[in-house]
Chains A and B, each alone.
Chain A
Amino acid sequence: MRKDLMRSIVTALSVAALLALSSTVAVCQEPQSVNPAGGGVPMTSLEHLQAKSSGPAPRTADGKPDLSGLWGPDRNFILDISAALKPGEKLPLQPWALKLTEERLSKPGAKQEDPKANCLPDGVPREDPFPWKIIQTPKLIVFLIEGNVHTFRQIFMDGSHPKDLDPTWYGDSRGTWQGDTLVVDTVGFNDRTWFDGIGHPHTEKLHVIERYRRPDSTHLEFEVTIDDSGAYTRPFTLFGHSPLLVNTEIMEYFCVENGAQDVSHMVGPATVGVTGDVHR
């Protein structure tokens, strides 16, 4: 009987140990979604990584909509921003800006002057076909950019534009909340970026106002109003959407490893017209 009791105790302890061990393994095991690169799963398809189920937009402790998250790109902000206009609208280019855009489209070798092809920053509002991330704090919102030069863009939530701004690639961005909309006002751009792959230009007079809303947990909507009296005859507004991406993370990408040698491979014009028509 004593042997039976001992056997029962040993069996019970063994079972308990196994349960404890399996629980420990379950807790300590890396989540399946961790990327060997240090982030999410390898990115084979952004559509595949879009969040499926949606709910109300999360909020921060101070009651503001929380825009934090990893967001997919909007393809209308990559090749030709005309695609982001309302249907029927055209980009109101001044004659010199239209001529320059046509040259960038047709002149041999002009594409090699694209700042992006030379690993220089994209500026605003040009996007890459890669994710981007929003980090939101009460005083600073940061956009992390995976592609292009793998950098970050700062939106300061306190203070106003400094008086003596040095022109920069991303300008100086100051944000405020208007209800549930983040309004970002940016001035102080240099004139060295292209708005898109087509080559739509801008000048240092560029003034951009962006409005970001998160209508639900898995979508980000934004409007970008471009006001540049040096290149466009009137302000115009672009409309964008980004889906929330899950089970992945920003991956490391440095243009310098690929970009410089790619310049020599860029030949030929693009296939989209410069009049503002969108070929769909």
Chain B
Amino acid sequence: MFVRWICRSLYSSLVAALIISAPFAASAPKESQFDYRDLSGVWWVNAPGPDKLFDRAKNGDAGKCQTCHISEHTKPEPPLTSWARQHLMIQPQMIQTKMGECNPIGVPAQFWYTQLYPFEFVTAPGRIFQFFEKQNEWRVIQLNRGHPKALLPTSMGDSVGKWEGNILVVDTIGYNGRNPIEPVGVDHRMSPAFHLVERWQRVSANEIELDATYYDAMAWGTEPWGGLKKKFMLQPKMELLQTPCSPEANKKFDDRFANPSVPPL
């Protein structure tokens, strides 16, 4: 009789525990239930917020946007070659113009915009697609081949990835040299020799880290520019918004975030 009472109590307790814990099981993945090599999902720099971009800006890190006006590298940029000083400098008045003209942004410049706009990784057989909410650009990271021998230069370059353990190493070359490297804080374009190496690592169920290094033999010689490290949080309930480029959309962005004279929100 006593044993039956104990068993009945134990059984009831277990059922109650299951019922109580069920709602929590439907939230973000648990630490023990994710694949280190699965980068799929929407990622953003900080805490999730409401859907609308400008509402997010009030509640998340972008609301302060302390780094909106400066480059995010922790290491100083290598000195420019004399050739770069003659051929790659961007005149200050061109920066606003470029943003207004809806020119392609590409990588690594898109990483700067992740302060304000999330991105999404979508995995397909043999490749990973990366969708950026800013200007709704996208790129493909090929996993099943190396760089072609003869590359037609493009704005996005040609990205190939391989896994080194649990780190996705993405190597990008083949740029056409037209893009700024970063929207602010860097006063010159990349050269056609620009070479981007990214290391993406999912360090937990809800966090990935990016460690990016820039190489540009024509701009910096043999010295790389590293020190770009960013962390992103998984946003399970977030969907990328439509933000295709248009002059009015860019002006709205400039007025709100890119104008140094406008104080942070």
Contact = CB atoms under 8 A, between A and B. Distances in A.
B148 A256 contact: no
B154 A34 contact: no
B185 to A, nearest CB: 23
Interface string B136-159: 111010100111111110111110
Contacts of A37: 151-152, 154, 158
Interface in A216-232: none
B122 A30 contact: no
Given A38-B152, A154-B239, A156-B239, A149 B51 contact: no
A132 B123 CA distance: 18
Given A254-B104, A254-B155, A120 B246 contact: yes
A152 B148 contact: no
A121 interface: yes
A256 B137 contact: no
B80 interface: no
- The dominant DSSP class at the B interface is loop
Given A162-B51, A252-B154, A30 B149 contact: yes
A152 B138 contact: yes
B131 interface: yes
Interface string A133-173: 00101001010100001111010100000100010111000
B240 interface: yes
B156 A120 contact: no
Nearest to B157: A38
A101 B242 CA distance: 27
B122 A151 contact: no
Contact of A169 (B145, B155, B156, B244): B244
A250 B148 CA distance: 15
Question: Is chain A's interface secondary structure helix, strand, loop, or mixed overall?
Answer: loop
B137 A151 contact: yes
A110 interface: no
A149 B124 contact: no
Interface residues of A, number: 32
A38 B174 contact: yes
Contact of A256 (B104, B123, B131): B104
Contacts of B102: 119, 256
Contacts of B244: 120-121, 149, 151, 169
A151 B138 contact: yes
A149 B138 CA distance: 11
A153 to B, nearest CB: 9
B145 A30 contact: yes
Contact of B101 (A140, A149, A150, A256): A256
Contacts of B66: none
B52 interface: yes
A140 B122 contact: yes
A68 interface: yes
A63 interface: no
A35 interface: yes
A56 interface: no
Contact of B148 (A30, A137, A150, A260): A30
Contacts of B145: 30-31, 34
Contacts of B156: 252
Contacts of B150: 36
Given A38-B152, A142-B129, 19 more contacts: A35-B148, A35-B152, A36-B148, A36-B150, A37-B158, A38-B158, A38-B174, A119-B102, A144-B129, A151-B136, A151-B137, A151-B138, A152-B136, A156-B239, A162-B51, A252-B154, A254-B103, A256-B101, A256-B103
Interface of B: 40, 51-52, 101-104, 122-124, 129, 131, 136-138, 140, 142, 145-152, 154-158, 174, 239-242, 244-246
